[in-house]
Amino acid sequence: MTKEMIKKTGGCFCGEIKFNVSLDKKPRVFNCHCIDCRKKIGGMITIIQLRDNAIEIDKNKLNIFEHNGGSGNKIKKFFCKKCAAPVLTYVSKWDKYYLYAGMLDDISILKSAYNIFYENSHFPFMEISESNIKT
Ligand SMILES: [Zn+2]
Ligand SMILES: [Zn+2]
């Protein structure tokens, strides 16, 4: 990692999960409006793409739910064994981990986000300007 990274802390609702994570100054943040995320969490989700080995976390405290994504690739959702808060998602297609943004203690650096899978599956009450939509 040559870029300057920012250290952040985070954890789940019940406090069982605590982690340290290194983020870019401008992290890659996505609001995912897809049906899979909606059904897994109950609404639109916000996730941060992580660089390799960017997070220090005790995976023994996480349960895993695995399923096939749209193009047949494996997706693993990691969530707290105790409170079921979603913590990480692993997408095999990109070989990347994504952190559920709300798990961060301090969200002040999350100043912009791309909206993905917006077109066909966003909530009708949620209007987002064209420029923030990634197709
Ligand atoms: Zn928890
Ligand atoms: Zn999604």
What are the structural domains, with CATH classification, of the chain?
Answer: 5-14+26-132 (2.170.150.70)
Decide if pLDDT at 64 tops 90.
yes
pLDDT band at 110 (very low <50, low <70, confident <90, very high): very high
In single-letter form, the type of residue at position 1 comes to M
User: From ligand 1's centre to the CA of 123, what distance in Å?
Assistant: 27
The pLDDT tens digits of the residues spanning 45-54 come to 999 999 999 9
Do the beta carbons of residue 76 and residue 64 sit within 8 Å?
yes
- Return the ligand number nearest the Cα of 18: 1
User: From ligand 2's centre to the CA of 41, what distance in Å?
Assistant: 10
Give the pLDDT mean for 7-13. Answer: 98
pLDDT band at 71 (very low <50, low <70, confident <90, very high): confident
User: From ligand 1's centre to the CA of 61, what distance in Å?
Assistant: 9
pLDDT value of residue 2: 60
User: From ligand 2's centre to the CA of 113, what distance in Å?
Assistant: 14
- Return the ligand number nearest the Cα of 75: 2
pLDDT band at 104 (very low <50, low <70, confident <90, very high): very high
This prediction has a pTM of 0.92
- Return the ligand number nearest the Cα of 15: 1
